[in-house]
Structure 1
Amino acid sequence: MSPHRIALLFNANKVYDRQIIAGIGQYLKSTRVEWDLFMEEDFRSRTLGIHHWRGDGIIADFDDPTVAETLADIPIPVVAVGGSYVDASQYPAVTPYVATDNVKLVRLAYDHLIEQGLQRFAFYGLPPNPGNRWAQERESAFLRMIEADRLEGLVYRGSSTSAGGWGRAQEDMATWVKSLPKPIGIIAVTDARARQLLQACVVADVPVPEQIAVVGIDNDPMAQLLSRIPLTSVTQGAEEMGRMAAQVLHQMLHGGVTAGTRVLVPPVGLNIQASSLHKPMKSPHVMRACHYIRQYACLGIKTEQVADYVGISRTLLEEHFKRELKQTVHQTILEHKLEMARSMLKDTSRPLADVAVRSGFTSLQYMYAVFRREFNCTPRQFIENARS
């Protein structure tokens, strides 16, 4: 019997789509289902000529309205993947649909910010257009939560930027960031938006997370890599969505799924990093210093540089640190470097020498010495202890 010919219509330049495709692959491996998979060579979702394709089934991203419209009358089994909707009429009438739970994604981020002791909240979304109805759903979910708690929720959508508009968009966002009541927690509709927000906070010289705590959605490794401040982010259940979509299509190919079937997939969890760990501070000098340290500790900064940034003498800054944090500026810098090193050590494939350099230690030997002094173990032993 020949393998079924299945088309995957996704824009796999996004981590969400890649994880869905990975989930489809995991389903095929775990069940030994034989499918020939078809995708565009550059991983873009193009529907031109799809009606002439002689295949057996399609799994497609229905967040793209063009895809949904094109596949509405195609005569082969189709499974839709996309965001969830409060209004059931937003779903396709007969096409089986596997959705990420937008309400639970926002709820996880919102509850986390509440747990940090914050009482003011904002949402950084996207300008409405037919291709990002999922973003509008997340914004609406945020506003409903805020209303239920009888709080005021601020919304900023910014602009859909291209290279020519980057500078203006960042200036506008920095102005918005400065205007916000503080401290405040902000949920960004995606990690890409969260990274833009963190950049705007740096430009506006607003400390994160002391005055603005940030949570993104996607847990995108690329956004983490490109952010100076480690980003807290909600992890979507995208791989589970892929597995479920493949299972539904498999059943459809054998006549076993009811038209209009809907599956809602909850988020996996929250990857908590520095961007959201709000710690109220009395001293504005300590707040500014920690903001600087969080960005540059791993570049080998010294106490004098921190004092210069804050604009007071080293002696006075040390007094503020001992009063507020019960430790020196140097100890705070070292603490951040160690936190970064511990985070990177979770990736056991990363060379230890690379961890040492990227976390700001002058050599691998020095990192070993600091780990022995602070944790009474070597970095390798630290990894082993973390596993057990």
Structure 2
Amino acid sequence: MFKAKHSISLLFNANKVYDRQVIEGIGHYLQSSKVDWDVYLEEDFLARIDNINDWVGDGIIADFDAPSIQQAVEHIDLPIIGVGGSYENLDDYPKVPYVATDNVAVVKCAYEHLKHKGLERFAFYGFPPDDNHRWATEREKAIIKLCKEDGYECAVYRGHPTRPETWQYSMNRLSDWLQSLPNPVGVISVTDARARHLLQACDHTGKMVPDQISIVGIDDDDIARNLSRISLSSVTQGGFDMGYQAAKLLHRRLENPNLKNKIVTVPPVGVAQRQSTDFKALKDPHVIQAMHFIRQNACKGIKVDQVLDYVGISRSNLESRFHEERGHSIHNEIHNEKLAKACNMLTTSEQQTSEIALMCGYPSLQYMYAVFRKHFDQTPKEYREQHFEQSEN
């Protein structure tokens, strides 16, 4: 009968993108190192956390951002690896080997991204402080410190916990805060889920993203990103590497139980840049309005006349303003927006080129082929293959 050398328990919530990345990294270590582990991943381990001694096995890798998990395992006499956020105060780290996402580096990554866009006003949307969101408090402290070092102030709003019964009230208060911010401003959200709140509030209040408010989240969560009309720029944390490092630490601890506790800090991968931070320092309010409308509707097949109707001024007036601010015509702006969307979909999705042509507002696949031939001297298929090869190298 098969019997693995070690039975390992993973205490993570696989519904969260961050936890899934950590689990994936653990799996990669298992495959690459050929360790002889039988891995146990409880689907709803919190329901039985009080009886954890009955099923933990020979070692544990656990999410220590959750105080209930940390408290449940801290008295278990087994090799335990904690995974969670970094802390400014060393005394806040648990007394076990620990792999941390570098909260300061994560926030700095988002902050530098916004600064490089030319923004000089900043804000932070976080969480109300509690034990379950200690990492959020660390990120809030980090952005305040970074802004202060550069001579900037940072407006902070912690908002409310997300609950159905208080949702409308919470969104109204968030909208009030957004309305109080100066334009333009860069807002760092503590998570992608909270960033989506910002996008919804901007939509309801008429705040234009990214022309008035540029938003960057943290997690690069596909679900949160795709639930909004405006695609969200987001910091990709090093969750995969964290999982790999955690498995590596556990492997060493199982081989040598007397190893000293160690803290491994993992930096973020970088910012996945999308529409929510596609900020250009525009000054003309009519051009800002037009750009907002074009970003929202270019792929719906709009024409210049519809942009003019939205802005409410004459064609010659708006065209003149566009050439002054953007260096090209309104028609070219619509064209460029559609082309950028097509290029992005070709390189980041597996959808058929015919579907991409339709979603980007081209009248036919043949028309999109003609556009790519003119701009890149390639077919869409050739463009996709070339960029796929570049990403592999």
Is the TM-score greater than 0.5? yes
8 Å Cα contact 1:194-1:215 kept in structure 2: yes
Q: Look up the match of 1:19.
A: 21
Per-residue CA distance 1:161-194 (angstroms, 9 max, x = gap) = 2233333322222222121111111111111111
Q: Secondary structure at the match of 1:346?
A: helix
Could you tell me how far apart the structure 2 residues matched to 1:115 and 1:340 are?
22
Q: Which amino acid aligns with 1:384?
A: E
Q: Look up the match of 2:209.
A: 208
More displaced stretch, 12-21 vs 171-180: 171-180
In the TM superposition, residue 82 of structure 1 has moved relative to its aligned partner by 0.1
Q: Look up the match of 1:327.
A: 328
Task: Verify: 1:367 aligned to 2:355, yes or no.
Answer: no
Q: Which amino acid aligns with 1:358?
A: M
More displaced stretch, 189-198 vs 310-319: 310-319
Q: Which amino acid aligns with 1:53?
A: W
Q: Secondary structure at the match of 2:118?
A: coil
> Matches of residues 118-267 of structure 1 in structure 2 within 5 Å?
118-255=119-256, 258-267=259-268
More displaced stretch, 74-83 vs 172-181: 172-181
In the TM superposition, residue 310 of structure 1 has moved relative to its aligned partner by 2.1
8 Å Cα contact 1:81-1:241 kept in structure 2: yes
Q: Which amino acid aligns with 2:79?
A: P
Task: Verify: 1:60 aligned to 2:62, yes or no.
Answer: yes
Q: Look up the match of 2:107.
A: 106
Could you tell me how far apart the structure 2 residues matched to 1:366 and 1:313 are?
30
Could you tell me how far apart the structure 1 residues matched to 2:18 and 2:42 are?
17
Could you tell me how far apart the structure 1 residues matched to 2:311 and 2:56 are?
66
Per-residue CA distance 1:231-269 (angstroms, 9 max, x = gap) = 221111100000000011111111156343111011111
Could you tell me how far apart the structure 2 residues matched to 1:179 and 1:216 are?
20
8 Å Cα contact 2:25-2:240 kept in structure 1: yes
> Taking every aligned residue pair, what percent have the same amino acid on both sides?
50
Shift in alpha-carbon separation, 1:332–1:85, aligned structure 2, 3 A: same
Aligned residues: 387
More displaced stretch, 115-124 vs 269-278: 269-278
CA-based RMSD of the aligned residues comes to 1.9
In the TM superposition, residue 40 of structure 1 has moved relative to its aligned partner by 2.1
Q: Secondary structure at the match of 2:348?
A: coil
8 Å Cα contact 1:9-1:45 kept in structure 2: no
Q: Secondary structure at the match of 1:214?
A: strand
Q: Look up the match of 1:272.
A: 273
Could you tell me how far apart the structure 2 residues matched to 1:267 and 1:230 are?
20
Per-residue CA distance 1:202-224 (angstroms, 9 max, x = gap) = 22212222221111111112222
Q: Look up the match of 1:69.
A: 71
Could you tell me how far apart the structure 2 residues matched to 1:207 and 1:326 are?
21
8 Å Cα contact 2:192-2:217 kept in structure 1: yes
Could you tell me how far apart the structure 2 residues matched to 1:256 and 1:55 are?
15
In the TM superposition, residue 43 of structure 1 has moved relative to its aligned partner by 7.7
Task: Verify: 1:378 aligned to 2:372, yes or no.
Answer: no
Q: Secondary structure at the match of 1:63?
A: coil
Unaligned regions of 5+ residues in structure 1, if any? none
Could you tell me how far apart the structure 1 residues matched to 2:143 and 2:377 are?
45
In the TM superposition, residue 109 of structure 1 has moved relative to its aligned partner by 1.1
In the TM superposition, residue 42 of structure 1 has moved relative to its aligned partner by 5.3
8 Å Cα contact 1:12-1:44 kept in structure 2: no
8 Å Cα contact 1:10-1:45 kept in structure 2: no
Q: TM-score, normalised by structure 1?
A: 0.94
Q: Secondary structure at the match of 2:286?
A: helix
In the TM superposition, residue 285 of structure 1 has moved relative to its aligned partner by 0.8
Could you tell me how far apart the structure 1 residues matched to 2:71 and 2:56 are?
19
Unaligned regions of 5+ residues in structure 2, if any? none
8 Å Cα contact 1:217-1:235 kept in structure 2: yes
Q: Which amino acid aligns with 1:132?
A: H
Q: Secondary structure at the match of 1:278?
A: coil
Could you tell me how far apart the structure 1 residues matched to 2:277 and 2:29 are?
35
